[in-house]
Every structure is written in C-alpha cells, then in structure tokens.
Structure 1
Amino acid sequence: MEHPIDGTVIQGKEDFYDAVADALSFPDWFGRNLDALFDSLRDLSWLPAGEHVLVWSAPGVFEQSDPEGYRQITDVLTDATEPGVFRVVTR
C-alpha cells in the first residue's frame, strides 16, 4: 500500500513529522522526534497487514532548507526499512 507525502511543503523535521504522521495514520501518542519516528515505523500494527511504502515527492526541498534535519530523517527511514513491511521511495 502506498502512502504519499508532498515534499514541496516540507522545510524541516516538524513538517516531516506532520506529513508522515498524516500519511501513515500515526496514533495520537506519536512523540514527534527521531526515536518516536523510528519506533512508529517499526510498529505499523494499526495499519492493515502487508507492505507499506512511503512515497516522498520532492525530498530535495527539505534537503535544501535543512540539510542536517534531512540527513537525520533519512537515516531513520533507512534504519526503519524492513523488506515486505516498510520502505520509502522518492519521486
């Protein structure tokens, strides 16, 4: 199942947290930090079983506006990737 996020509006980590929480229907208890992002991506139990693909358009907007925040987020996304369960594609 694909879950798109519009990268044209993501300028920093807070924007990314909002976008990913909306796209993946994160529970209200999502802590809006890197550790909580990792934990939530590794436990998508509130979503239907199967592979969930985060489709991130225009990630370069975030990378240009906040290179360090972008690196931190992409590191977490890479670490949270689990074949058949969660992965990210950029467009």
Structure 2
Amino acid sequence: MSVNIYVARSEADLKKFSDFAIVKIEGQKSKTLRQFYEHIAEVLDFPDYFGFNLDSLDELLNDLEWIEDHKLALYFCHTEDFVSQERNPDKLSNLLHMLDATAEDWKWLDEEEDVFAKELVFIFEDSSRLRELLKQEEIGFEYISGEADSAG
C-alpha cells in the first residue's frame, strides 16, 4: 500500500502538490469532531444530505462527484488543535484510519463503475501530537520533504 498521508513542515512544502486542488482544513475551527464535520462540509461544499458523522463523511469522500478537480489534497493546518477537545481519543484514531482507507480506495476504483476517478491525499501540518498518533496507530505517512515513516 502506498502512502496516502503526508506531513508538511511548512506551507512551502505544498508546492509538491501544485497540480492538486488544495483545500485547507483549519485545526482551530475543528477542535471537536462536530466542528470538523461542520468545517469540512463548508469548505468542500458537501451536499445537504451530509449526516455529520464518520459514516457519512466516508460516503461523501468516496463520492466527490460535485468536485470538478481530479486531484484533491486536503491540507490540515494547526494540527495541535485538530480534534483536540474530543472526549474520546479513539474518535481521532478512527477518523485518521478512515481518511487513509478512503484515499487508498480511490486508487483501486474500477473504471467501469461510471465514476470519474480522483486522486485524493491528506496533508497534515507537522506536530508532535499528530506524528505520535500516526505512529501509534501504525498509519504510514511520508514527510513531503522525502522522509518516509511506515509506522509499522
């Protein structure tokens, strides 16, 4: 399985993804999962039927038909704040696993499914909190500057 999650040491690292539409997710506006769901729904212009839960997020990130760009990068900044006020720490772990799996799913899309394939990656601003969680959860990631950490 290839890497779907990248860690940026600065916004300048995003130049590597210059051919992607980059959507910024503000950690300061996403301190709880509910705030994150509201924020991502706004920035990605989710359809009205979004259910503000992990299953619904998974469904929409596996669809993305309303987004014209074929290459999409979600850049999470202020990751020290991202879902930092959620009472159950497993919720952030579940979210990270789902994001990783969703990006991987896009790579294996069957061309006959009548869906236009997208390339989806997730980029997180570097923070010790995020790096430790990715390693703990054994979610592979790569520094945009080139260092890889398979985390398991």
Task: Please confirm whether the aligned pair reaches a TM-score higher than 0.5, indicating the same fold.
Answer: yes
Q: TM-score, normalised by structure 2?
A: 0.55
Offset, 1:63? 4.8
- Separation in structure 2 between the aligned mates of residue 64 and residue 15 of structure 1, nearest angstrom: 11
Larger mean CA deviation between 15-24 and 57-66 belongs to 57-66
Aligned partner letter, 1:44: L
- Separation in structure 2 between the aligned mates of residue 52 and residue 4 of structure 1, nearest angstrom: 11
How big is each residue's C-alpha offset from its partner over 1:62-84, in whole Å with a ceiling of 9 and x where there is no partner? 35322222112112111111355
Q: CA RMSD in A?
A: 1.6
Matched length: 91
- Separation in structure 2 between the aligned mates of residue 45 and residue 8 of structure 1, nearest angstrom: 28
| Distance change (3 Å), C-alpha of 1:49 and 1:9 | closer
Identical positions, percent: 25
* Paired position in structure 2 for 1:32: 52
Large movers: runs of 4+ above 3 Å:
none
Q: TM-score, normalised by structure 1?
A: 0.87
Gaps of 5+ in 1: none
Larger mean CA deviation between 47-56 and 57-66 belongs to 57-66
Q: 1:89 aligns with which of 117, 123, 134?
A: 123
* Paired position in structure 2 for 1:70: 92
* Paired position in structure 2 for 1:12: 32
Gaps of 5+ in 2: 1-20, 108-117, 126-152
How big is each residue's C-alpha offset from its partner over 1:34-90, in whole Å with a ceiling of 9 and x where there is no partner? 111111001000010411111110222135322222112112111111355211101
Q: Is the 8 A contact 2:36 2:83 kept in 1?
A: no
Question: What secondary structure does 1:60 align onto?
Answer: coil
- Separation in structure 2 between the aligned mates of residue 76 and residue 86 of structure 1, nearest angstrom: 13
Q: Higher Cα Rg: structure 1 or 2?
A: 2
